[in-house]
Amino acid sequence: MENGVEILKEGKYIYGIIRHSGPLDYGPIGLGKRADQVYGINFNGITAIVSNSPIIIYEARRVNMIAHEKVLEDVMKQFTVLPVRFSTISEHNDDSGILKILEKDYKKFDDLLTKMDGKKELGLKVLAHEAPIYENIIEKYDEIRTLRGKLMNLPADKTHYQRMKIGEMVAEALKKEIEAYKTNILAVLNPLAEDLKVNDNYGEMMVLNAAFLIKNSMEPDFDKAVNDLDEKLGSLMTFKYVGTLPPYNFVNLVINTKGI
């Protein structure tokens, strides 16, 4: 405490781990308001990408997450990177703590870097268009179409139960159709990927929320497969295709900085 202001201890914020020897400097792009220098600390051919930082727990706010990701994206332009969990800070204000971590977890980092070498994460979200999907269901399901036709010219107050029944049938059919589209899309894309992580959907119109680990050499084939699916299904759904991402879905690197 100095003049009533708490002086925070300094540490090293860790963004990611790469395979590299020699110095690296990414400039003043560190997380937080201070714009600390981001640089590499090397041990035996493996480098931690770090910046100076007060020893605090950073809130997982958009501005902080974007700053963390921006560093990783810059590093990825040149290297395969193992992303480290957000807000991981070594409690040493010099390089010694990072060097101890690199030495202690060397084999784990080495194995993971070998596994991830020459690969990248690509993200795909597929969202169904409400009107055409419902039209498709009405066309495809005879029972729903027939019942709907019978009720079209009847007063709403006399057919409340039947309309509720149609609503339930349509909801059930929608679930079934979404699942079928998801299965068909994955059947096309999965064989082109090294690994796949299907994340939870949000909202009933989401068909797929997935991350694919792709060999760099397979990326053109994967791109073409996504484009072909988009062409085939584009009237019914939107494909949101994102790449290249740090492999968050395939590497969950939690580093214990306590006691080091």
Of the pLDDT bands very low, low, confident and very high (cuts 50, 70, 90), residue 150 is: low
Q: Is the pLDDT of residue 123 over 90?
A: yes
Q: Is the pLDDT of residue 145 over 90?
A: no
DSSP symbol at 224: H
Whole-angstrom distance, CA of residue 72 vs CA of residue 80: 10
Confidence (pLDDT) at 133: 83
**Which pLDDT tens digit goes with each residue over 68-103?**
999 999 999 999 999 999 999 999 888 999 999 999
Q: Where in the chain are all domains bearing CATH 3.30.70?
A: 120-245
Helix (H) or strand (E) holding 115: helix 106-116
**Which pLDDT tens digit goes with each residue over 171-183?**
888 888 889 999 9
Q: Is the pLDDT of residue 3 over 60?
A: no
Confidence (pLDDT) at 162: 67
DSSP helix/strand/coil, 91: coil
Mean pLDDT of the chain: 87
pTM of the shown model: 0.80
CA angle at 173 for the pair 172 and 174, rounded to the nearest 5° = 90
Helices (H) and strands (E) in the chain, counts: 7, 10
Of the pLDDT bands very low, low, confident and very high (cuts 50, 70, 90), residue 255 is: confident
The domain defined by 120-245 folds into Alpha-Beta Plaits (3.30.70)
Q: Is the pLDDT of residue 244 over 80?
A: no
Helix axes 130-140 and 160-189, enclosed angle (nearest 10): 100
Instruction: Tally Cβ neighbours within 10 Å of residue 260.
Output: 17
Token pair belonging to 123: 């993200």
**Which pLDDT tens digit goes with each residue over 190-214?**
999 999 999 988 888 899 999 999 9
Whole-angstrom distance, CA of residue 179 vs CA of residue 142: 20
Confidence (pLDDT) at 2: 46
Of the pLDDT bands very low, low, confident and very high (cuts 50, 70, 90), residue 149 is: low
Token pair belonging to 39: 């640089």
pLDDT, greater one: 5 or 124: 124
Q: Is the pLDDT of residue 5 over 60?
A: no
